Each structure stands twice: as structure tokens, then as C-alpha cells.
Amino acid sequence: MSRRRTFSIVAALAAIAALVLAGPRPRAAVADSGQLFIYRVNASSDAAAQRLFDRGFDVLENRAGGDLFVLGNAATADKLRTAGFQPAIAEKIETGGWQPPSTRLVPDAAGPAVAPIDETYDGGYRTVRAQYAHLDKVAADHPDLATVVDYGDSYLKTRNAATGYDLKAICLTRRATGDCALTPTAPKPRFLLMTQIHAREIVTGDIAWRFIDHLVANAAGSTAALLNSTEIWVVPIVNPDGVDLVQQGGNRPYLQRKNLDASGSTSCPRPPTGSGQVGVDLNRNSNNHWGGASTSRNKCSEVYPGLNPDSEPETRAIEGLFRKLFADQRGPADTDAAPATTRGAMISMHSFAGMNLFPWGWTNGHSPNDAALRRIAQHMSSLNGYQFGQPGEILYNASGTSDDWSYGELGIASFTIEVASCGRFTPAYSCTGTDFAKNLPVLLYVAGLAKAPYQA
Ligand SMILES: [Zn+2]
């Protein structure tokens, strides 16, 4: 018997033993998505970046000089070469077979039964139920500081009330008359942090959790002045259907970016593979230069913007929440500046480029509030050490995004933070502490500007 044959028999026995030890898959588990790689390709021009999106590649939110990063499987390398790129493997996504979540997700899944607030996956990341239980607990423990708001339903819930999720936000402030009311004429200025609109950018939801805890834990001390003067709104999971799929990967989260609206895309992979995924990219779905840069009409593409602007329940709901919290303070033309008296600021958090971005994303042209937005972003960078600029200047152009919409539609100072997540697309849970420590000063700084950001 050859050494190779001996080895293959040993390997087969080991695989069988592993299956026996692992036991049957819980019903919540879904098919393995296969080995994934992150490829590094040169794409220094706008045209080269757009060609990647047009060809349906999963372009990650990261750039190193002239290079972009593409997620895919083994076949993706050949497709990149066919498209004229020279891919190099930058990272092999950790594999090793499906493992059950750290704690159980649903009643019929494996793992110890825990209270919803203690549900985690992949070494500590919080499930949707845990995030929502956390909001409720903070509100119950601090009725003078916290109010939970249900601002809509996820796509799946709109289709079937027995599935999907509510969409939830928390308002944090030292409560006085009129605070946290769903009207733009409320007395205090407002700052809103939204995380995990891209479900697989799992560090960001954890930062929201820690930010909430930090604000209430220090309400008698370092955060007292901010909570007295300002409403801090946090939406920890903008895309709960997507996160539900991510967390079903357990210790190897499924890399779902979009929501789970499969209408018109029923043939797209679910869970995602290296060749696409179901759903609509909620950060391309907003009605601001919709369907332009960094989108693809391929329904399985990670940047599919939907059939129409604002087509998705999650998009309409978060935009509806914004309209209730912030007055429209900017004229309708792209060249209309928001006035110096504008109130309100927001940050949408993504991963993993290590960047502080500001509008416009749809074009390299500057917004009429460019000087102030750039000045704020520069100060953000002095706090977290990231690069700053418009998306087209340091990452790639992107249209129909949350921050282009909130700035464009309402005039509020709007930013995207691409957290660095230890330079990893799929970071260990321990990395979230690093990202939080770096970005807490930034969140507090921008929240503190809410009264008059353009006078900063
Ligand atoms: Zn993102």
C-alpha cells in the first residue's frame, strides 16, 4: 500500500470520526458554503473598481493603495483572470467544517439553553435576540435614561408575521419633557449611530452594544453632560434578517451582507457562497442617486440595489425613523448647502477598511458642505487613526448609501466609519474591544456636535 493510499484511508477515518463526534446537525444549520478566499487585485481607477462590481465580484470594503479585495471561492480566481485582473490570495477564510453556535439560537438548535440576552455565536458576537434583549434590559434598568422604539418590520416579518424581526432603536438621554418623541421638533439635538446594515460586518453591532453600556454606566460621570444636552439614538441591527442568517453559521458565520428579500432572486445562493447571495444591498437601496456607482443589476451580486429606490422594508423604516428624528434642513439640489444652523449628526458603521468617510459617495465631486464635513472627519481620524476622505477618494464610489441619503435628504452631518477590525474581514471576537476603544472617542465627539455640526 502506498503512503498516499495509507494517508487517504487515515484521512477518511478521521473525517468519519469527526462526523460521529460532531453528531447530527441541528435543524437550524444550513449547508456548508465551502472554502473562501480574499483575493487582492489591482484596481486603482474608478473604471476598474466599477468593472469588478459590473462582473458581479464581491468587492470588500477595504483598499490598500491601488488594490481592492474580492471575496470568493476557488473558481473566483479564474473569473478574475478572465476579467483581466491578476488575483493574489490575501487571506484564506478560516474553515474546518460547520460548528454549532456557542450558545443555542433557536429552541431546536444545539447548545445549552441560555437566556436570550446571553445568546452568542462565533466566540462572543451577540445574536439579534441578544441585542434586542439588551435594549430592553437597559431600558428597564434605566427608565430615566433609555427608551426602546420599534420602528418597523424586517422584510421577512412583512411577509409573514411569524418570521423575521421587529426593527428596534434605543434613545438614550437624561429624560426631560419631550425627549425621545418621534417628532423632529423635539427639544434636544440628536445623534444616531446605526450598525450592521451589512449583516456580516459583525464587529459593528458589538460596538453599538458597548457604546450603549458606556453611556449608561457613566451617566453620573463622564457622559452626564452629553446625556443632559443630547439624544443619542442607536440602531444596533439595521438588518436583522441578514444577521439571523450570519449567526446560523455558528463559529463560522455565514457571510451574508444583504437583507433576505429573495423576490426575483430565488436562484441566488442561501446561505451565501463565493458566487453570490440572495437579497438587496440595503446600503445601495436608498433614494439618492440610486443605481449608480458600485451597484450591479445581477440580483445575486452583493451590491444589488433592488428593483427600485427604497424598495426594501428595512430601508423605508430607517428612513422613516430619520424623518421623525431630524427636520429636512437642506434644499433639494445637490448643490444646496445645509445651513450653519443645521442640527443633527449620524454615523453608519461598517468594516473593515479603517476609514472615516463622508458624502458624497455617489461622485468624486464635493458636497456643498465639504469643508465642514472634511474638517470633522479629519478630527475623527486624529482620534481613531484611520484615513479620511470621500469614498471615491480613498475607497471606491458608492451610490444609494445611508449617509448620502441622510445628508442629501435632510442635511444632517453624516459619516460612515469603516472600522479596521484588526485588519481582518472575519475578526476574532476579542478584536471588538480594540475597535470599540479606538472608536468610542469618535462616537462621543460626533455626538457632541449634534447641536450645530457645521459650526465645528
Ligand atoms: Zn458595509
Q: Tell me, in angstroms, the distance from the centre of ligand 1 to residue 259's CA.
A: 12
Q: Is the pLDDT of residue 104 over 50?
A: no
pLDDT bucket at 273, cuts 50 / 70 / 90: confident
pLDDT of residue 26: 35
221 and 81 share a domain? no
pLDDT of residue 31: 39
Q: Tell me, in angstroms, the distance from the centre of ligand 1 to residue 281's CA.
A: 9
pLDDT of residue 95: 54
pLDDT of residue 372: 98
Which of 92, 107, 138 is where one domain is finished? 92
Tell me what ipTM this predicted complex has: 0.99
86 and 207 share a domain? no
CATH number at residue 54: 3.30.70
Q: Is the pLDDT of residue 174 over 60?
A: yes
What confidence tens digit (pLDDT) does each residue in 224-242 have?
Answer: 999 999 999 999 999 999 9
DSSP-derived secondary structure for 420-439:
-GGG-SS--TTHHHHHHHHH
pLDDT of residue 451: 98
What confidence tens digit (pLDDT) does each residue in 189-203 have?
Answer: 999 999 999 999 999
Stretch 416-439: mean pLDDT, rounded? 93
State the average pLDDT for the chain. 89
pLDDT of residue 151: 98
Q: Tell me, in angstroms, the distance from the centre of ligand 1 to residue 332's CA.
A: 27
pLDDT of residue 408: 98
What confidence tens digit (pLDDT) does each residue in 289-320 have?
Answer: 999 999 999 999 999 999 999 999 999 999 99
Q: Tell me, in angstroms, the distance from the centre of ligand 1 to residue 228's CA.
A: 32
Residue identified by cell 439618492 is 288
Q: Tell me, in angstroms, the distance from the centre of ligand 1 to residue 159's CA.
A: 25
* Pairwise CA distance, residues 253 & 122, whole Å: 7
84 and 218 share a domain? no
Nine cell digits for residue 130: 441578544
Domain that holds residue 67: 37-92
Tell me which amino acid residue 338 is: A
Q: Tell me, in angstroms, the distance from the centre of ligand 1 to residue 401's CA.
A: 10
How many folded domains does the chain comprise? 2
- A 10 A CB-CB count for 5 gives 9
pLDDT of residue 264: 72
What confidence tens digit (pLDDT) does each residue in 45-94 have?
Answer: 989 999 999 898 999 999 999 999 999 999 999 999 999 999 999 988 86
**Residue 132 falls within a domain, yes or no?**
no
Stretch 331-338: mean pLDDT, rounded? 97
**Residue 341 falls within a domain, yes or no?**
yes
* Pairwise CA distance, residues 422 & 445, whole Å: 22
Q: What is the largest CA-CA distance in the chain?
A: 83
**Residue 46 falls within a domain, yes or no?**
yes
pLDDT bucket at 426, cuts 50 / 70 / 90: confident
Q: Tell me, in angstroms, the distance from the centre of ligand 1 to residue 198's CA.
A: 5
Q: Tell me, in angstroms, the distance from the centre of ligand 1 to residue 246's CA.
A: 14
Stretch 424-439: mean pLDDT, rounded? 92
Inter-residue contact 404 to 368 (CB < 8 Å): no
Q: Tell me, in angstroms, the distance from the centre of ligand 1 to residue 201's CA.
A: 6
Residue identified by cell 434583549 is 133
pLDDT of residue 109: 54
* Pairwise CA distance, residues 327 & 339, whole Å: 12
What confidence tens digit (pLDDT) does each residue in 281-294 have?
Answer: 999 999 999 999 99
**Residue 3 falls within a domain, yes or no?**
no
88 and 227 share a domain? no
409 sits in the region (left: phi over 0; alpha: psi -120 to 50; else beta) called: alpha
pLDDT of residue 92: 87
Q: Is the pLDDT of residue 8 over 50?
A: no
pLDDT bucket at 99, cuts 50 / 70 / 90: low
88 and 194 share a domain? no
314 and 437 share a domain? yes
In a 13 Å sphere around the CA of 238, the CA atoms on its Cβ side amount to: 34
Q: Tell me, in angstroms, the distance from the centre of ligand 1 to residue 391's CA.
A: 12
Which of 66, 92, 118 is where one domain is finished? 92
CATH number at residue 215: 3.40.630.10
Q: Tell me, in angstroms, the distance from the centre of ligand 1 to residue 40's CA.
A: 18
Give, in order, the Cα–Cα distances in Å from 400 to each of 298, 315, 318, 409.
Answer: 16, 10, 14, 12
**Which carries the bigger pLDDT value, residue 83 or residue 26?**
83
Q: Tell me, in angstroms, the distance from the centre of ligand 1 to residue 194's CA.
A: 11
Q: Is the pLDDT of residue 14 over 90?
A: no
For the chain, the C-alpha Rg in angstroms (whole number) is 22
Q: Is the pLDDT of residue 5 over 50?
A: no
Give helix then strand counts, H and E, for the chain. 13, 14
76 and 194 share a domain? no
Stretch 121-129: mean pLDDT, rounded? 91
Q: Tell me, in angstroms, the distance from the centre of ligand 1 to residue 330's CA.
A: 26
Q: Tell me, in angstroms, the distance from the centre of ligand 1 to residue 347's CA.
A: 12
Q: Tell me, in angstroms, the distance from the centre of ligand 1 to residue 20's CA.
A: 38
Stretch 239-257: mean pLDDT, rounded? 92
Lowest-pLDDT range of 27-31, 113-117, 234-238, 243-247 = 27-31
**Residue 70 falls within a domain, yes or no?**
yes
Which of 70, 92, 114 is where one domain is finished? 92
Burial category of 212 from C-beta neighbours within 10 Å (exposed 0-12, middle 13-18, buried 19 and up): buried
**Residue 146 falls within a domain, yes or no?**
no
Q: Tell me, in angstroms, the distance from the centre of ligand 1 to residue 140's CA.
A: 31
Q: Tell me, in angstroms, the distance from the centre of ligand 1 to residue 182's CA.
A: 27
Q: Tell me, in angstroms, the distance from the centre of ligand 1 to residue 340's CA.
A: 30
216 and 331 share a domain? yes
Stretch 113-122: mean pLDDT, rounded? 85
Helices 431-448 and 370-384 pack at an angle, to 10 degrees, of: 140
Give, in order, the Cα–Cα distances in Å from 361 to each of 328, 401, 403.
Answer: 20, 7, 8
pLDDT of residue 17: 39
Q: Tell me, in angstroms, the distance from the centre of ligand 1 to residue 231's CA.
A: 25
> What is the DSSP-derived secondary structure letter of residue 268?
S
Q: Tell me, in angstroms, the distance from the centre of ligand 1 to residue 153's CA.
A: 21
Q: Tell me, in angstroms, the distance from the centre of ligand 1 to residue 418's CA.
A: 8
Residue (of 423, 431, 428) closest to 90 by Cα position: 423
172 sits in the region (left: phi over 0; alpha: psi -120 to 50; else beta) called: beta
> What is the DSSP-derived secondary structure letter of residue 250?
B
Q: Tell me, in angstroms, the distance from the centre of ligand 1 to residue 212's CA.
A: 21
Lowest-pLDDT range of 54-68, 138-152, 164-178, 208-222 = 54-68
pLDDT of residue 112: 62
Q: Tell me, in angstroms, the distance from the centre of ligand 1 to residue 257's CA.
A: 8
pLDDT bucket at 275, cuts 50 / 70 / 90: confident
Task: Give the Cα-Cα-Cα angle 186, 191, 197 (nearest 5 degrees).
Answer: 120
pLDDT bucket at 25, cuts 50 / 70 / 90: very low
pLDDT of residue 290: 97
- How big, in percent rounded to 5, are the helix, strand and coil portions of the chain? 35, 15, 50
Q: Tell me, in angstroms, the distance from the centre of ligand 1 to residue 22's CA.
A: 33
**Residue 97 falls within a domain, yes or no?**
no
372 and 240 share a domain? yes
pLDDT of residue 34: 73
CA 214 to chain centre: 21
**Residue 370 falls within a domain, yes or no?**
yes
